[in-house]
Every structure is written in structure tokens, then in C-alpha cells.
Structure 1
Amino acid sequence: MSVFFISQLLVGVALIFDILSFQFKNRKYILHSIAAACFFMAVHFLLLEQWTATVLMGLSALRYGVSGYTTDRRWMYFFCVAAVAGTVWTYAGLVSLLSFGATFVLTVGAFSKTDKRLREITFFGVGLWIIHNVVVWSPSAIALESLFLMSNVVGYYRYYIRPSQPELVTEQE
């Protein structure tokens, strides 16, 4: 079994956590599920020798774990600085900039106080990861982020767009 094939299988494990994440309403459950997915994605990128993505996904796993417990802006700034340092340390051109941009945006989202804001910011950050995964050509990672985006759309629709069910009005005689 090739390293590439194993890396693609790890994305399947991450996919389970990603799809589940935005079907939760509880912000903490959303974030901890994404943290698990990021861990598997970090190992995926490690096997593909995508060093910036490896470091930033590893940081993301930690970030989502921490942000499940706090929205303290000091943690957000810490993870933003860590993302800059990780990107500079592993810089490899456009792919590094794409993964950094995605990580930076998602860091801001992770420390949002509401799940609604988290979901809204995630739309943009995930879009950047999709572009990154096209550039490094990881078909399963492209599929994962696309399905993650769709899960976010479904969750956002369920909680914030779908009109509330009209109450039955009974006539009083």
C-alpha cells in the first residue's frame, strides 16, 4: 500500500468528524469534532510531505481544542502568531500562503463567540483549503473540504435560514 493511498484513507477518517461537526448546535461539540478531523488531516499532509499544511493543521487541531473551552482573544492572537511562525519556518511558495490564509481566517472563526459567526467565517476559510488541496493535488482532501463546506451549509440552513414552522392557528368560536 502506497504512502499516498494511506494519506487518502486518513482523509476518510477526518471526513467523518468534519461531516458530523456542523450538524451539532453546541459550539464546543462543533469545535472538538473539527479538532479531531484536523489531527487526521495533519498526518495526511505529513505523509504527502506538505510541511506548511502539516504544521498548520496540527496547530489547528490544538486551536480548535482550546477554542472549544474559551473565546479569549489572547488565545486567538497566540494561534495567529504561531501560524505566522509555522508558515515562515516551512515556507514553500503559493501552497504555504494558501494554507496560511485558510488557517488565519479559521483561527478568527474558531474564537467567535457564537456558532453562527463560526459557521459564516468557516465558509471563506474552507474555500481557501479547497484551493490549496487542488494545488497540491489531494483528491480526497478536495472532497473532504467540499463535503465539510456542504455540511456547514446544511447546518447553517437548519439553524439560521429555514423558516420556523408556522404554529397552527385555531379559530375560537
Structure 2
Amino acid sequence: MTAYWLAQGVGVIAFLIGITTFINRDERRFKMQLALYSATIGGHFFLMGAWPAGMSAGLNALRTLISLRTRNLWVMALFIILTLALGLVKLHHPIELLPVIGTIASTWALFRTTGLTTRCVMWCSTVCWVIHNFWLGSIGGTLIEGSFLIMNGVNIIRFWRMQKRGIDPFRVEKALAEKEG
């Protein structure tokens, strides 16, 4: 098996891990599955030679796990600075800025927002990743991020409709936030 197909295989595994991430309404399960996906797709990007994307995805995994414990502004700022520093070091093409921008947006969302707002910002972040992954030629990465766009978009609409009917789809999440706060 060539290194290229090994990298693509890891991307497909990431696809299988990540496909149901945005269905979760429970914040903890959502973040844990997102972290596992991010670590796996980070390995895929490193194997593809896409260092800025690999660094961003690796930081995404760590950041997502840490955001389970704290929403501290200083921690968020540290991850944004790390994303910029590590993501820009090996930058070779302007398209490689997109994962860095997407990671910064999702970092802000995970530390400063909840519920539907988080999913909306994550959807915008996903647009950056889809464009990058397509440009890179990442089969698994394009499949998963394209799926994230569709699944998260459908769930955003579904959750928004639930809210319009007076149903709070993030009731569990809010109860946990009240305990922490």
C-alpha cells in the first residue's frame, strides 16, 4: 500500500467517526466525538503532507477536549495564538489559510457560544475546510466535511424549527451550563 492510499484510508476512517457528530444534542458527547474525529483527520492531513491543516486539526482535538473543562478566555486566546503560529509556519499556498481561519472560528464558538449558535459558527468553519480539502485532493476529508455541511445544516434547521415550536433541543446542555456557572 502506498503512503497516498494509507493517508486516504485514514481520511475514510475519520469520515466514519465524524459522520454522526453533529446529530448529538448533548454538548459533552458532541465535543468528545468531535475531538476523536479531529485527531483522526489530523493524522490524515499529516500523512497527506498538509501541515497547516494537520496542525489545525490536532489543535482542534486538544482544544475541544479542554473546552469540556473550561470556557476561560485566556485558554481560548492561547489556542487561537497557537493555531496562528503553528498553522502559518509551513504555509505554502493561500488556500492553506482556510483551515486556520476555520479553526479560529470554531475555537471561538466552542469557548464562547452554546447550542444553535455553536452549530452555526461550526457550519461556517466547515465551509473553509471543504474548500481546502477539495483543493488538497483529500477524498475522506472532502467527504466528511461535505457531510458535516449537509448534516449540520439539516440539524441547524431542525433545531431552529424545534425552537420555533417552543421546544428547547438543548435543554440538557443548558442545565449543565447552569451547574458550571
Work out whether the TM-score is over 0.5.
yes
Normalised by the length of structure 2, the TM-score is 0.84
Radius of gyration: which is bigger? 1
CA contact (8 A) 1:67 1:111 kept: yes
The 3-state SS of whatever aligns with 2:112 is: coil
Q: For residue 116 of structure 1, what is the aligned residue in structure 2?
A: 116
Q: For residue 170 of structure 1, what is the aligned residue in structure 2?
A: none
Q: For residue 9 of structure 1, what is the aligned residue in structure 2?
A: 9
Aligned residues: CA RMSD: 1.7
Q: For residue 63 of structure 2, what is the aligned residue in structure 1?
A: 63
Q: For residue 171 of structure 1, what is the aligned residue in structure 2?
A: none
Q: For residue 36 of structure 1, what is the aligned residue in structure 2?
A: 36
Normalised by the length of structure 1, the TM-score is 0.87
| Displacement after TM superposition at 1:87 (Å) | 2.0
State the alpha-carbon separation in 2 of the partners of residues 152 and 88 from structure 1: 28
In structure 2, the gaps of 5 or more residues are 167-181
CA contact (8 A) 1:26 1:115 kept: no
CA contact (8 A) 2:11 2:138 kept: no
In structure 1, the gaps of 5 or more residues are 166-173
State the alpha-carbon separation in 1 of the partners of residues 3 and 112 from structure 2: 37
Q: Kindly provide the amino acid, as one letter, of the partner of residue 68 in structure 1.
A: L
Q: Aligned pairs, how many?
A: 165
Q: For residue 152 of structure 2, what is the aligned residue in structure 1?
A: 152
State the alpha-carbon separation in 1 of the partners of residues 24 and 112 from structure 2: 16
Q: For residue 24 of structure 1, what is the aligned residue in structure 2?
A: 24
| Displacement after TM superposition at 1:96 (Å) | 2.5
State the alpha-carbon separation in 2 of the partners of residues 118 and 70 from structure 1: 16
Q: Kindly provide the amino acid, as one letter, of the partner of residue 154 in structure 2.
A: V
Q: For residue 142 of structure 2, what is the aligned residue in structure 1?
A: 142
State the alpha-carbon separation in 1 of the partners of residues 127 and 87 from structure 2: 19
